[in-house]
Amino acid sequence: MINCLIIEDEQLAADRLSSLIVEMFDDIRIIGNTPSISKSIDFISNNKIDLIFMDIHLSDGLSFKIMEQIRVDTPIIFTTAYDKYAIKAFKYNSIDYLLKPINEDELKASIEKFKKINKASDIDINKLINSFSHANREYKKRFLVQIGTKIKSIEVSNVAYFYALDKAVYLTVKSGASYIIDNTLDSLEDILDEDKFFRINRKMIINSESIENMEAYTRGRVFISLKPNLPKGIESIVSIDRSSEFKSWLNK
């Protein structure tokens, strides 16, 4: 019997994948469904797993962070709704992927491919992480914003930070002007260069070049002074769950 773990933060997607696997394969047993990086790390560390279905975008970050924190020798089939260039990296590293919504024939082909793998050590996880991070990756270059009847193009290099306020997302340029954009902060994380931009809390993504000063804050958090100044109602404080990652990001 093949013990399978599903790492997926959308319960409907997890339930559908689990149902498909159970219906199509009588030799695969679903032993867990974890929705976050931290819970996945704990489950993988304490259970014998033969195969992992891993969503790339979890509620608390990219699932690659799991492999950055613990050793994962288990074969992985990634599931994703994004990143066509990442897909090329997965194929190059002999790890399969399933594009959401998951197709039954593709699921069958992925599992048959897994069954041909004789040794988990054939999978170079570090190479996969590196390929995903750098190979052929394209990032957002500019945003179009509307000011009245006029449309303006803003280069990403000119953006100081993004913030959410009153159900809208704003882009602030280095001169201090702010514009409403159609993107959510979650979608921005997928299209911005992570070497330059970092989401410090639920309401803010900052450009490293906009940091003016930093101070230690309560409970291990970090208070950041930004330029230009923030509007009222927005705090530039790195949240507790992001503080460690933030410090690592700055220390690259």
Domain boundaries, the chain: 2-134, 142-250
pTM summary value: 0.52
pLDDT of residue 84: 55
- Which positions ≥6 away from 243 have C-beta within 8 Å? 220, 221, 222
Per-residue pLDDT tens digits for 150-184:
999 999 999 999 999 988 999 999 999 999 999 99
Question: With respect to CATH, is domain 142-250 assigned 2.40.50.40?
Answer: yes
Which tokens sit at 99? 């594009």
pLDDT of residue 121: 45
Total residue count of the chain as it appears in this document: 252
- Which positions ≥6 away from 140 have C-beta within 8 Å? 156, 188, 191, 192
Nearest CA to 95 out of 77, 71, 73, 80 is that of 77
Nearest CA to 166 out of 233, 102, 110 is that of 233
- Is the distance from CB of 213 to CB of 231 less than 8 angstroms? no
Listed as ranges, residues in the chain with pLDDT below 50 are 85, 88-89, 91-94, 118-121, 135
In our burial notation (b when 16+ CB lie closer than 10 A, e otherwise), range 15-41 reads eebbeebeeebeebebbbbbbbbbbbb
Q: Do domains 2-134 and 142-250 have the same CATH topology?
A: no
**3.30.70.2080, 3.40.50.2300, 3.20.20.150, 3.30.2020.30: CATH of 2-134:** 3.40.50.2300
- Is the distance from CB of 161 to CB of 207 less than 8 angstroms? yes
